Amino acid sequence: MRIRFLETSTSPATRLVVRLVDQDAIPAGLEPVLAEGAQASRFSGKAGQIFESFVDRSGRLVRVVLAGIGSPAAEDRIPALERAGAGLVARFLTSGETGLTLDLADSGLAADEVAAVLIGARLRAWRHDAYRTRLPDDQKPSLGEIAVAGAADRAEAAWEREAAVAEGVEFTRELVTEPANVIYPESFVARCRDRLAGTGLVLRVLDESEMRALGMGALLGVAQGSERAPRLLAIEWQGGKPGDRPTVFIGKGVTFDTGGISIKPAAGMEDMKWDMGGAAAVAGTMLALARRKAGANVVGVCGLVENMPDARAQRPGDIVTSMSGQTIEVINTDAEGRLVLCDALTWAQREYAPAGIVDLATLTGAIIASLANEYAGLFANDDDLAARLTAAGQASGDRLWRFPMGPGYDKMLESPIADMKNVGPRFGGSITAAQFLQRFVEKDNSGRDTPWAHLDIAGTVWADKPGATWDKGATGFGVRLLDRYVRDSLEG
């Protein structure tokens, strides 16, 4: 979706014109047919309301839309504006209209409010039609541009920042949506090299032999049943002060998860192409940070494997040695994400000595049982980090809910023959998974545990029905959250 700002405040060069309307504040100067039609339709400007009609303007037929954005004093003003932009695109994306003019003259919207409308519109416009060869014409997207007239001062600059975030969300959605025969560890890296080229990001890649030399037995144990070679990808952004310790984002990148020998049921297994949603979110976040020239030092690390039930695959009961030296009894080969993440955690800490770590993973079905698709689970060893992430989630719309951790849950991972098991008993599965990962958080140079948070995003990376700013499918969850965290907590 192309978005451009008109130099003149007059609208419009397109037939489709949109006016945003505050609740109980129908704009003055509307043609009588519009004003009376809106009143007859009980349109009052409530958030989400839409009224449209056709009028003659100087001998030209114009399609005018009034879109309600609610009360200016509402606490959810920004989300309401995002939903308004998204709702407009959802309505007109396949309408046959090719362009839309957003007439903001006399709207009173501030620059950040204009940007909110536009990011809602752009994100809702994203689709992945690459493999649809017989799509009927009336189902093909036609709306390709939004022209913004009469915007507030600095609105274009505010949009440029949000456009960078939108690009990151779109890249994440692309990676998550692609099938596993297209995106696997090596091609994930290749796609990142292509999309991140020229951004100022530096990519480092470890292959199987390098990981083996480092002792990454946990990650490699997951990968050994697949003919697809594993990769560890690091994406570096140095936008802060030289020498400042970076913050590291780590993503689980299981590009397809059969469950291994502990194989999953066939029904719904096709969804496991998005078991790399954490790694995709990290890659998309790094693109967003680079595009907007974020003033912080950040590294994204993606542990990339495929989990398959080959004759070489690890078995339930096998013991692997992680890069940290800790041994793990693999009770369930379908609890593989934590095995990938634990080695990525160790490598990232020893390589970058980070100021803090946030990992993202589609880790457990238990988190969906707890939170459905409304929140991602948050686990942390640091209250300040947890609070900042929660606030960033509330502001961005990628919402988090914090869960408890403690020694009682840690005991559930005890193994009679190794340092730990990779799973606990049936209950509290999301918590015991986090407890497992916490065992791989090391102390920093001051002797305290490195601030760390784990985000279980299993219920939020994919949607079976349209949401506020997405259609069915990949949501891009995590990018806006991490970008907002960087803005609010890491940039001076």
Q: Which residues does the annotation mark as catalytic? A: 264, 338
Mark out the alpha helices in 357-485 (DSSP H runs). Answer: 366-371, 383-396, 407-410, 429-438, 479-485
Phi-psi region of 58 (alpha: psi -120 to 50; beta: other; left: phi over 0): left
DSSP state of 271: G
Tokens of 68: 């309600």
d(CA 75, CA 390): 17
The dihedral through the CA atoms of 390, 304, 431, 268 has a sign that is: positive
What string of DSSP letters covers 169-223? HHHHHHHHHS-TTT-SHHHHHHHHHHHHTTTT-EEEEE-HHHHHHHT-HHHHHHH
Q: Which residues of 323-359 are buried (b: 16+ CB within 10 A; e: fewer)?
A: bbebbbbbbebbbbbbbbbbbbbbbbbeebebebbbb
Q: Would you say 472 and 465 are in contact if contact means Cβ atoms under 8 Å apart? A: yes
Q: Which residue has the tokens 């954490």?
A: 278
